[in-house]
Structure 1
């Protein structure tokens, strides 16, 4: 079954909180296993001994060969004995940002949002702990979590479980108990999972949907007539990606050099920049195997100069904006980016403004100088979140871009970048080939704005990004 068809089916069905959607975590909402990241982190920090690791591996193998797979979970939890609850919470949040956020399946995110639009109760049901499930649930706006709860005494983990390890039938029991306690009609509710152990969990719902299921679950789905949801797995880095990334870096530099030579020959830096930047960005994207699918491209040219604001999840975003804006623009970045090697060549051409947010006086002076450049015909590219986000959900927008637009009397043009993080995640170094979707929204007139209005206007503009990402224009 296609995810788009499923979403259409959900939106054509009944509304209301008497219907629930239960989502498994590992392999369903996220690609892979969140526990793997915890184990690697603890090994790297010396928090898991060799004996504990050996017992965990042997138990996991035994589970694959027909033994009790919950023993691996019990051993993993017992290895946490003596850990501070606060430290585990911090670790869960850190690993979410560093590792797990980028593994959330885009299709699963879209399905969750479809249920939320319909007013359904959305529940994350998993054998994982709250340290793993909590950040993912918060990111997706899921209010209810059924998970393996760990016993904590005086802020310290005891290495024991409260109640049952939610694997197999205990997970199904937890779902049925939740339905009874919350007046949920399980017969009309949805279940999503990928594991062979989740047959009982899915069978508890009236609308089970295996997602990228294992062999045994797929066989059960075929037997029961359950619609299988096939999703696109995350792109993997390979030789093409590595070679393409190296070629892209070379193409970027070659384009910049060509622009510099032209500027020197003509004794016109601006002319050189206007040739070098689009040449460099186009070459980098093409050599990396990245294609842009642009909606609303005419809005790039409707009102120049302007403040072009974009959501920011990937290091590809400035290159995308450069290819899109092409000429007569510069950028704004945080002060520490001045020392980023990747910024050196671009800085020579664009002459961006670096703002030290810890120094309000310097920030005001820099923004005033930038306002003068805007009035002279230079557009501005800025990412108002201030840093790359670990997930596609836009972070809070800072007000600097909006103040600049007001002072210079130019419009704001939102540029929504949909999936750059799938091709180059926030901490990744290799670009995967693929298509990035970009939507340039209509320019927003700032002529009637006042400083007092910004507390309302800034969240409203951010919401345009959220709405566009959720309902991409055809």
Structure 2
């Protein structure tokens, strides 16, 4: 219980503490090199995520960072639990945003930081607005920004990887960026499997080789989603955490 309280007090306190920095970052000149600007903005979320995960006492192993290509990519990851997000922010050096449910936009300060790192909010209950969000995400990718999607659409909470929804892969069809499959294992052991308490866990992140436009351009979205899911399942099984 104490670890849970400490983690969430830190999360809330850090968000409030960073409000002045967020204001300064929003005033960065438009002519600043885009890559430098993204790195400056991502320094704060990365520092938060690394400290936050350290407070859980978890051990995080990351494999395959060399597979991430230069330029914008779409990271596609399975979704075990709420701690997937800080794990990925801390593990991956390339700046990126998330495709997130629109409800998160109501959270003060957090939503402002998410907008700063170019997250896209999707209203899944409104098909027209969801389509507009996908188009906005594709535009971000074309402009050189990377994004993360969780194609399951919900947390597996440590269970089998669910079916992948095909809609998110429209982002790549419209932008032509590489897809980088990511397998996450162990984050549900931090929180979801513990009666919503925070406990240390062994977490494994495996980054698979990218799938380029030339490899997927002739595939329909459903087939592409199934193929990426298979890659993630195979890498997860091959690199399963030793008990």
Whether TM exceeds 0.5 here: the answer is: yes
Change beyond 3 A, Cα 1:327–1:252: farther
* TM-score, normalised with respect to structure 2: 0.82
* SS of equivalent to 1:447: helix
Partner of 1:297: 65
Change beyond 3 A, Cα 1:405–1:453: same
**More off after superposition, 397-406 vs 314-323:** 397-406
Contact 1:255 1:276 in 2 (8 A): no
Q: CA deviation at 1:355?
A: 1.5
Whether 2:50 is the aligned partner of 1:288: answer no
* SS of equivalent to 1:401: helix
Partner of 2:151: 384
Q: CA deviation at 1:339?
A: 3.0
Change beyond 3 A, Cα 1:429–1:267: farther
* TM-score, normalised with respect to structure 1: 0.45
Distance 1:280 1:395 in 2: 29
Partner of 2:4: 242
Whether 2:84 is the aligned partner of 1:322: answer no
1:309-352 per-position Cα deviation (integer Å, ceiling 9, x unaligned): 11112111111111123443211112333335694354343242
Structure number with greater CO (CA < 8 Å, separation at least 6) is 2
* SS of equivalent to 1:304: coil
Distance 1:366 1:290 in 2: 34
Q: CA deviation at 1:353?
A: 1.3
Distance 1:250 1:357 in 2: 27
Partner of 1:274: 42
Change beyond 3 A, Cα 1:375–1:351: closer
Whether 2:128 is the aligned partner of 1:366: answer no
Distance 1:414 1:470 in 2: 14
* SS of equivalent to 2:43: helix
Q: Give me the CA root mean square deviation.
A: 2.9
Q: CA deviation at 1:454?
A: 2.7
Q: CA deviation at 1:258?
A: 7.1
Distance 2:20 2:54 in 1: 17
Whether 2:219 is the aligned partner of 1:457: answer no
Contact 2:138 2:175 in 1 (8 A): yes
* SS of equivalent to 1:337: helix
Contact 2:151 2:168 in 1 (8 A): yes
Q: CA deviation at 1:296?
A: 0.8
Q: CA deviation at 1:468?
A: 2.2
1:274-302 per-position Cα deviation (integer Å, ceiling 9, x unaligned): 221211211211223233211112223x2
Gaps of 5+ in 2: 31-36
Partner of 2:204: 437
Change beyond 3 A, Cα 1:380–1:348: closer
Report the count of equivalent residues: 235
Distance 2:94 2:24 in 1: 15
Contact 1:290 1:433 in 2 (8 A): yes
